[in-house]
Amino acid sequence: MKQIRFQVEYKMMSDGYTPLFVDGESTPLDFWGFNGDIVRRLTRLCLLFDRQVNWDNPTDPKWQMPERERSEFNALLPFVISEIELFLGDAWQIENVTRTL
């Protein structure tokens, strides 16, 4: 069984990469052949993660992610991982290292 590390990092999907790491390397989105629903939810998850930072002023100490978006991220995280596990089948094992917000 092959191992995948699921680790959301800033600006991943916008750069064409997924939070799925194989052998320590992030994988390009087209590597997996995900259906549109998975891509849409994975993109949303990464977008919500990126909202933690005020990109106009990354050192802004007063910036707070809206609670609604934080809740959405926390609900979407296990759902997306489960959806990817079902898509990939038994050939891959996912280790989630992304924490809820």
Q: How confident is the model over 3-61, as pLDDT tens digits?
A: 999 999 888 888 899 999 999 999 999 999 999 999 999 999 999 998 887 778 878 88
pLDDT, residue 23, reads 95
- Write out the H or E segment, with its range, that includes residue 77: helix 67-88
Residue 12, judged by CB atoms within 10 A of its CB (0-12, 13-18, 19+), counts as buried
Q: CA-to-CA distance for 23 and 40, rounded, in angstroms? A: 25
pLDDT, residue 62, reads 80
